[in-house]
Amino acid sequence: MEGDTGRAAHRGNRHRRSEEARQAVLHATDDLLAERGFAGLTIEGIAARAGVAKQTIYRWWPSKTEILMDAFTDDAVQHLTPPDSGDLGEDLRIHLRNLAEFLTTSDAGTVFRALAGQAQHDPEVATRLRTDHLGKQRERDRLPLQRALDRGELPPETDIDFLVDQLVGPIHYRALVTGEPVPKEFTDRLVAHVLR
C-alpha cells in the first residue's frame, strides 16, 4: 500500500517545488512589510524583490495574506510558549511579558498585527488566522493555569478560558486598538489582579 501511494505521489511531481524560491518570497515579504507597510506590500513588489516570477507566487499562494501567514508561521510563533517554573504567578508574568513584546516590538508581531487588521476586512483571513494560529496560541496561554489547577493551586471550579481572556485581552487591546505601550508594570499588575 505504501509502495503504491509513494509512487503515485511522484507521478505528477517529478522535480517538486523550489525551496529557494519559497524562502526568497517569504523573506522579501518580511522585508517589504517592514520597509513599506502593508499598503505598500504588492505581489509585484515581492516578486521583484525576491527575484522570482509572479506566476511562481500565484502558483503556491492564493493571496497576499496567505504569504503573510506562511511568513508568520516560519518566522516566529513558538516564541510564545509559556515557561513552567512551578510558580503560577512567575509563569504568567513571564508569559505576558513575552506576549507584550511579541505584539509591540517584534517583527513577527508586525506581521501578526497586519494579519489581524486584514482579518477585520476579510472573513476568510479571520478564519485562517483563528484556525491556524489563535487556536494553538490559546492552548499555550492556558498551560500555566491548567498546570496550576492540576497542582491544586487554583480552585477546581476555575474557568481558565475566562482568566485567559482577562489576561491577554487588555494586552491585545493596547497593542491593536489604543496603541499604548505595554510595559512590564502593566502585565505584572494584570497578573496580580487576576490572581486575586
- Interface with DNA by CB under 7 A: which residues? 7-18, 21-22, 24, 40, 42-45, 51-56, 58-60, 63-64
- Chain position carrying cell 504567578: 89
* Min CB(63)–DNA separation in Å: 6
C-beta atoms surrounding 24 within 10 Å: 18
Nearer to a copy of itself, 49 or 172 (CB): 172
- Chain position carrying cell 511562481: 56
Considering the rule CB under 8 A, would residue 169 count as an interface residue with a copy of itself?
Answer: yes
127 backbone dihedrals φ, ψ, rounded to 5°: -60, -50
Work out what residue 165 binds among DNA, a copy of itself, none; the CB cut-off runs from 5 to 8 Å by kind. Answer: a copy of itself
Work out what residue 51 binds among DNA, a copy of itself, none; the CB cut-off runs from 5 to 8 Å by kind. Answer: DNA
Find the binder of a copy of itself among 120, 136, 139, 184 (CB under 8 A): 120
Work out what residue 119 binds among a copy of itself, DNA, none; the CB cut-off runs from 5 to 8 Å by kind. Answer: a copy of itself
* 13/98 Cα distance (integer angstroms): 42
Print the SS3 string covering 103-165.
Answer: HHHCHHHHHHHHHHHHHHHCHHHHHHHHHHHHHHHHHHHHHHHHHHHHHCCCCCCCCHHHHHH
Considering the rule CB under 8 A, would residue 9 count as an interface residue with a copy of itself?
Answer: no
Secondary structure class of 17 (helix, strand, coil): coil
**CB contact at 8 A, 104 and 173:** no
* Min CB(4)–a copy of itself separation in Å: 21
| Binding residues for a copy of itself (CB under 8 A) | 37-39, 113-114, 116-123, 126, 130, 134, 138, 162, 165-166, 168-174, 176-179, 186, 189-190, 193-194
